[in-house]
Amino acid sequence: MLELSHIEKYYNAGTVNEMCMFHDFSMKIAHGEFVSVVGSNGSGKTSLLNIICGSIPLDGGSISINGTDITHMPEYRRQRRIGRVYQNPAMGTCPNMTILENMSLADNKGKPFNLRWGTDKRRADFYRQQLSSLGLGLEDKMHVKVGVLSGGQRQAMALLMSTMPPIEFLILDEHTAALDPKTAEVIMELTGKVVREKQLTTVMVTHNLRYAVEYGSRLVMMHQGEAIMDRAGEEKEGTQVSDILDKFNEISIECGN
């Protein structure tokens, strides 16, 4: 279980531009849950992911995984337990390295460094098998540099690489936002497949309300650092895109827009 307790987060603290993003915010994410997070810009969606991953420090509160406090654990150590796929396909792969080298890099995540070859060719067949599961023909391009691949191919690789080592949590930060509609559909189908097969606890931030409704076991809407909608189980299954749009409209009216 991932537990955020009484989280406090301020930006530009102590200045005239001080902004409170989270005040006494708490949330629990059970093992195996797939949480889709939606909300307007500035609602706290990405800040929530950054707090979980340790990319930004807290001003108060605590974070724990299965009862272990990780509040002050540095980001690089959390990455041994957390895989993350970013909005920009270029952030999950190394463009000047080949597909084989990228796969090797992901394969060695969290392992100690020493004086040995970075690419173990004995693992090449395993990498081909993993790549073939994507259905994009990348297993036949092992020696092609990743920088020449399309955005969708790179994002598919980023998804595969982030989940190749044993991890407990998968963080998806608007990972289809930079893709064309057809490619986004492919990546979402791959996402659902990977999460099911590896039984990963997943948090996905998305602006695509259909994806939020169709994927995942729980739906959370953020607004001004609060979870104003939190649906799981049958309630989530019965949620329609129109329900989320109605909530967005209600917020817009309350804010005077």
pLDDT in tens, 116-167: 555 677 788 899 998 998 888 899 999 999 999 999 999 999 999 999 888 8
Q: How many CB atoms are closer than 10 A to CB 242?
A: 10
**In this structure, are residues 152 and 159 in contact, taking their beta carbons and an 8 Å threshold?**
no
The rounded radius of gyration (Å) of the Cα atoms in the chain is 19
% of the chain residues with pLDDT over 90: 67
- Which one-letter amino acid corresponds to residue 62? S
Distance CA 196, CA 215 (A): 11
Q: What pLDDT was estimated at residue 121? A: 72
Average pLDDT score over residue span 240-254: 84
CA nearest neighbour of 215 among 230, 242, 197, 193: 193
| Model pTM score | 0.89
User: In 69-198, where does DSSP find H-type helix?
Assistant: 75-78, 99-107, 124-132, 151-163, 181-198
**Which of 50-59, 108-117, 146-155, 228-237 has the lowest average pLDDT?**
108-117
Is residue 229 packed enough to be buried (19+ CB in 10 Å), middle (13-18) or exposed (0-12)? middle
Distance CA 34, CA 41 (A): 22
Query: What are the phi and psi torsion angles at 227 (to 5°)?
Result: -90, 100
Distance CA 71, CA 61 (A): 8
Hey, is 19 helix, strand or coil? strand
Interior angle at CA 241, CA 239 and CA 244, nearest 5: 80
Interior angle at CA 67, CA 61 and CA 70, nearest 5: 50
- Tokens 């270029």 -> residue: 90
- Which one-letter amino acid corresponds to residue 126? F
| Backbone φ/ψ region at 27: left (φ over 0), alpha (ψ -120 to 50), beta | beta
Q: Mind listing the pLDDT tens digit for each residue in 78-106?
A: 988 899 999 988 888 999 999 999 998 88
Distance CA 39, CA 212 (A): 11
For residues 108 and 256, the model is more confident at 108
Q: Band the pLDDT of 251: cuts 50, 70, 90.
A: confident
**Average pLDDT of every residue of the chain:** 89
Write out the two tokens for 207: 């602006």
